[in-house]
Chain A
């Protein structure tokens, strides 16, 4: 849909006048917007001079529904926040309730959580790299390579939880069920096969001149702005800020694993792309250690109960490093069977607030890949 900006006069003849601005509404149905998301872009020629993100098309009332249901019944809804990474969403919510009730988690369950969360990070980042290349015009091929690997992880998730994407697996005080027979061997096999895939994927793309020409110096997010805007996740680290909640909070058992946090220097799209590739290497390192060290034992705390959870009155904020950034849940309990207030701090939404600052001065085609490099999922933005 193309309309004239309202404050401008309609050009009399010969099309647009020299200095006229053009307002374009990209989306909500546009293949580059990763869901139902609209960017109202004001263009001077091809250059973006103003950009307003419009969201809310996928609002599903997640928070209010969770306030009406029991604590347990909110877990399947968290699957549908960031529908690509249901396991990390489960973890963030379950961690918050465990903080509230003081439930302990058995060793084995902690290891399982790390394993499934890092697998989620692997395929989220691979898919993001594929989507980003799709936005640049590499139609299909990189995305299909990424999806081929994602499918293997989803098969493992299905044999563990019964569902490929809507896992609904973690519970307060542990995990719903133990790993099926042979699952660990399959997981070890998968990580062993993932490393060569990553190597080929890097050979396929990293030095590609077109990719570099499109990404280098585009959509720079300055360090100060990233910090002030509350950006988290790979987007923040690409701007050179060393902030990874796995290192800062050591939630779960992350202090036991040896891994590095990759940092960018320029904060442009190329850095954000490379951040995903390097984080996949680190996730593989964590997976290797976790799959080696996982102990036997129960996966549920003996004191944990499934139903009729009534935490003491109080408020709690729990957060984890989801593949997209800091995913937090803020719960207020009044001692009843449902949370009095249930609030999600979605990383995608906060990361989206700096979109205009990154896009100004670039062309419309660059705005598409800048949005692609932010890594948003609209289920999480709109909730």
Chain B
């Protein structure tokens, strides 16, 4: 019968139309500024720099190794190394970034910088409401620095793994320091290289 297919289709449309009055599962639209979807652990938008302690600039984990600068696909990271070295959390002397700029207009949020960073210093943020009165399209390190508490809060599972690894390294470094402090036994297997 001509028109049978159309009527069947209209029944489907009617089912969908009326169903949404009774079944909340069918209401798929999220009324955005009023309602928000719970953020995901893995969600990523733009990068930020993690700092330890209370001083954002002194506590930056970044050692200005420039690996992220080299690997960044659209080359939006610009780093200038400071000439002075500062001790890091293991007590090793490390360089620090004099400037660390991310051109946020170029960044495409791929997350490769966070993936290649060997110091767990650059991580992906999940902020998305970035519009504001300022005109900061190049984010300097002052704006990029965010505390490790914030990192733990937005990526709890990943941060737990990172914290565990860092604590392990710290324990090892302290054990090494303690071993070096005590006088070496007479029959040491290998003399320390100068």
Contact = CB atoms under 8 A, between A and B. Distances in A.
Contact of B16 (A77, A145, A207, A212): A145
A363 to B, nearest CB: 22
Interface in A49-101: 65, 69-70, 72-77, 79
A206 to B, nearest CB: 8
Contacts of A283: none
Interface in B106-139: 108-112, 115-116, 124
Contacts of A307: 67, 71, 116
Contacts of B70: 70
Nearest to B15: A200
A159 B115 CA distance: 17
A15 interface: no
A205 interface: yes
A180 interface: yes
Residue among B6, B13, B42, B70 with the highest chain A CB neighbour number at 10 A: B42
A206 B6 CA distance: 10
B41 A159 contact: yes
Contacts of B173: none
B2 interface: yes
A176 interface: yes
Nearest to A176: B115
Given A162-B124, A204-B12, A209 B5 contact: yes
A203 B8 contact: yes
Interface residues of B, number: 31
A158 interface: yes
A239 interface: no
Nearest to A138: B9
B124 to A, nearest CB: 7
The size bracket of the interface on A is 35 or more
Interface string A205-223: 1111111100000000000
Interface in A271-318: 306-307
Contacts of B13: 141, 204
Contact of B42 (A74, A160, A207, A211): A160
Nearest to B42: A162
B46 to A, nearest CB: 12
Interface in A183-241: 200, 203-212
Interface in A135-162: 141, 145, 148, 151, 158-162
Given A163-B44, A203-B8, A212-B5, A70 B108 contact: no
B53 interface: no
A306 B71 CA distance: 10
B72 interface: yes
B115 A163 contact: no
B62 to A, nearest CB: 18
B43 A203 contact: no
Contacts, number: 84
A306 B70 CA distance: 13
Interface in B89-115: 108-112, 115
A206 B112 CA distance: 44
Nearest to B2: A209
Contacts of B115: 176, 306
Contact of A208 (B9, B43, B44, B71): B9
Tell me which of B3, B72, B73 has the highest count of chain A C-beta atoms within 10 A of its own C-beta.
B73
A301 B70 CA distance: 24
B2 A73 contact: no
A209 B8 CA distance: 11
B73 A73 contact: yes
A148 B28 contact: yes
Given A159-B41, A163-B44, A166-B108, A69 B6 contact: no
A177 B13 CA distance: 40
A205 B9 contact: yes
A70 B71 contact: yes
A180 B108 CA distance: 24
Contacts of A79: 110
Nearest to B124: A162
Nearest to B4: A207
Interface string A102-142: 00000000000000000000000000000000000000010
Contacts of A209: 2-6
A211 B12 CA distance: 16
A76 B73 contact: yes
Going nearest first, the 4 A-B pairs with the smallest beta carbon separation are A207-B5, A76-B110, A162-B44, A73-B73
Given A158-B40, A160-B42, A162-B44, 15 more contacts: A70-B71, A75-B112, A141-B13, A158-B43, A161-B42, A162-B42, A163-B44, A177-B42, A200-B12, A200-B15, A203-B9, A206-B5, A207-B8, A209-B4, A307-B67
9 contacts: A69-B73, A76-B108, A162-B111, A162-B124, A204-B9, A204-B12, A206-B5, A207-B5, A209-B2
Interface of A: 65, 69-70, 72-77, 79, 141, 145, 148, 151, 158-163, 166, 168, 176-177, 180, 200, 203-212, 306-307
